[in-house]
Chain A
Amino acid sequence: MAQHTTTTRLLTPLLSSFRSLVLSSETTASATIPKTMATSTRSFSSTPNLAARAKQAKTSDPRVNLIRYHMQHPKTPRPLKFSRMRALRHWTIHRAWMLARRKATEAQEAELIRMHQSMHRACEELRNFDAPGKKDSGRLYRIAMEKKGIFGHGGVPIEYARPQTDTPAREAWNHGWTR
């Protein structure tokens, strides 16, 4: 049932605009109908001006008709309107929500920065751990700098990815590429 009503609601304006178009084309094509109409409705003034104006009013934009149909349809819900105080309350809640969200984001970012700095400090500590010259010096630092498993286990760096296209490129691999 609901499906049916929506389809009719969508179709009716189209039908009506089509119908109006047909009607207008008929009136322009056959001169008999408007003549009788004119004789019946014409009262005192017989100026051609009036007729021209009526014709002008009749030709309206179907898009405007369509919009008007939907905006003024009884099933279209009324626009959301708040009373002043309620709008003010709404505004207050909105502002507080934005503020809270921003604070949460900032706290998250600060935490990330803190963790990154901590890691950096630890790596510096490892780098300066033992004096240079020996074979073993900086071993721990080198191990810490290894990037094993950072692209997932058995994964490849993202730089090696190429865009998936329908056809192969003219040059399959650019060997001369450097960052």
Chain B
Amino acid sequence: MSTCQKAARPLTRCIRESQSASLSARTIRNFTSSTRQNEEAAAAVETKPPRVWDPTTVTSRKGEKALMKDGVMPIGSRRRRAAISTSDNLPFEQLPYQCFQEALRVLRADRKEKLELIKTERLRISNLEAQDVTNIKGGQKHKDTRLESMRRHLEYLKIQADINDPLIKKRFEDGEGDMNKPIYRYLADKQWRKYQHKLITQRIHQLSIVPDLLPHFEPTADVRLAFRTRQVSPGEFVDSRISEYPLRLKVQVFDKGTRLVSIVVIDSDVPQLETDKFESRCHFLATNVPLSPTINSIPLSQLSDSNVVIPWLAPFAQKGSPYHRYSVFVLEQGSELNAEALKAIPRDGFKLRSFKDKYKVTPIGMSLFRSEWDEGTAGVMQRSGVDGADIEFKRKKVVALKPKQKPRGWEAKHASTKYRALWRRKDKSA
């Protein structure tokens, strides 16, 4: 008998046994078998109930058809379903692969070490906190820096303790991660920086958000936009009929704690005829909106009136004006702002720079969309009570100072019939 066979023998036997057991008892052992059996027994007395098919284990064509009729698609291939139904339902970390089990043992030992380190680091921090400033050499400043670096190290250790766990990885990939835990926030941040962060930074520079609206800006939070069910990727052109309804924001922050944010939607391309310049206009402003890693959905239409300072104005780009950039900024507040006092801010001529400086808010994330004149814009403007739908912007014709040059070159010189002999054959015939 080869070593391979020898190694596989207990496994095959196990599978065979489970199969025979399942065939004899007509049941698949799972966690809720007892209650289900009782139910079935109770029902059998009255009438024969329709058989309940499990989409994860159904293998017969009949069962599949019955399920599909109910609108439930069977999960995976039939082969996979058969494998699941005949194997005992082992949890992932107990799968009988030797190397895998050894690896898990190594990782568990490492995690234990890391937990010890975390414990000692916590003790050190509490000891330093309890110490009097006069006993520390560098004074308060030194104490603060040391505490900060120790806390940073503690966060690092917390992540290192969990980063090798396959189940955590799986849960994160399935989108079931608990954002209150540092490891999931860390993984989400990594994921975001892999693509979305790069994309939004590129858009910020391509569409000149940075010199136009803010002197410099580095986003640290993920902001996703949607109008009802329409997802909007950064910088996309959105039909004015779709953008008529207030935005839904999904703001994911990657550091712990609840904070208050302000949300600003600005149109930075409003043409001003008097000054022959472009200005910005605020389309929405809300303050004191609570935001945390878990409370991340902000539908602008469902914010309470105490939060909303400037209500939603549907984006519109008048005919002939170049495309308008509508940027949505999420600004973190240092403290609670007075929403009533903010209501004095006018819609037109809103300046993000001065708002940021005056109210001590820091931008943490942004996203944007663009809008142009389309067939729905006139209706949108009429419905939102904005006049000017009949105006069409046109570029002023610049009169050239130099007189127009006469045509030059060989052909212009020899245009007269005097040079007919020199013309090309085609022209001569014509």
Residues of A within 8 A of B (CB): 85, 88-89, 91-93, 95-97, 99-100, 103
Contacts and interface: CB of A to CB of B under 8 A. Distances in A.
Contacts of A89: 95, 97, 100, 166
B107 A92 contact: yes
B99 A99 contact: no
A92 B100 CA distance: 7
B92 interface: yes
A100 B95 CA distance: 21
Given A85-B92, A88-B169, A88-B170, A95 B164 contact: yes
A89 B90 CA distance: 14
Contacts of B226: none
B92 A88 contact: yes
A91 B166 contact: yes
By size class, the interface of chain B is 10 to 19
Given A89-B166, A91-B169, A96-B104, 15 more contacts: A85-B95, A88-B166, A88-B169, A92-B100, A92-B164, A92-B166, A93-B100, A95-B103, A95-B107, A95-B164, A96-B106, A96-B107, A99-B106, A99-B110, A99-B164
12 contacts: A88-B92, A89-B97, A89-B100, A92-B103, A93-B99, A93-B103, A96-B106, A96-B164, A99-B106, A99-B110, A99-B164, A100-B106
Contact of B102 (A85, A95, A96): A96
A112 to B, nearest CB: 22
Nearest to A98: B164
Contacts, number: 37
A99 B106 CA distance: 8
Nearest to B104: A92
Interface of B: 92, 95, 97, 99-100, 102-104, 106-107, 110, 164, 166, 169-170
Contacts of B110: 99, 103
B166 A99 contact: no
B265 to A, nearest CB: 40
Interface of A is mostly: helix
A99 B97 contact: no
B103 A96 contact: yes
Contacts of B99: 93
A85 B170 CA distance: 9
B21 to A, nearest CB: 24
B162 to A, nearest CB: 12
Contacts of B97: 89
What 10 A-B pairs are tightest by C-beta distance, nearest first? Answer: A96-B103, A96-B106, A93-B103, A92-B166, A95-B164, A89-B100, A88-B166, A92-B103, A96-B107, A93-B99
Contacts of B164: 92, 95-96, 99
Contacts of B95: 85, 89
A99 B105 CA distance: 12
Contacts of A95: 103, 107, 164
A93 B106 CA distance: 9
B284 to A, nearest CB: 42
A101 B291 CA distance: 42
Chain A CB within 10 Å, residue with most, of B95, B103, B170: B103
Chain B CB within 10 Å, residue with most, of A88, A89, A92, A99: A92
Contacts of B103: 92-93, 95-97
A100 B200 CA distance: 39
A92 B92 CA distance: 11
Contacts of A100: 106
Contacts of B107: 92, 95-96, 99
B83 to A, nearest CB: 11
Contacts of A99: 106-107, 110, 164
Chain A CB within 10 Å, residue with most, of B92, B110, B166: B166
A21 B169 CA distance: 52
A86 to B, nearest CB: 9
A27 B102 CA distance: 66
A88 B170 CA distance: 8
A100 B113 CA distance: 13
A171 to B, nearest CB: 54
A67 to B, nearest CB: 28
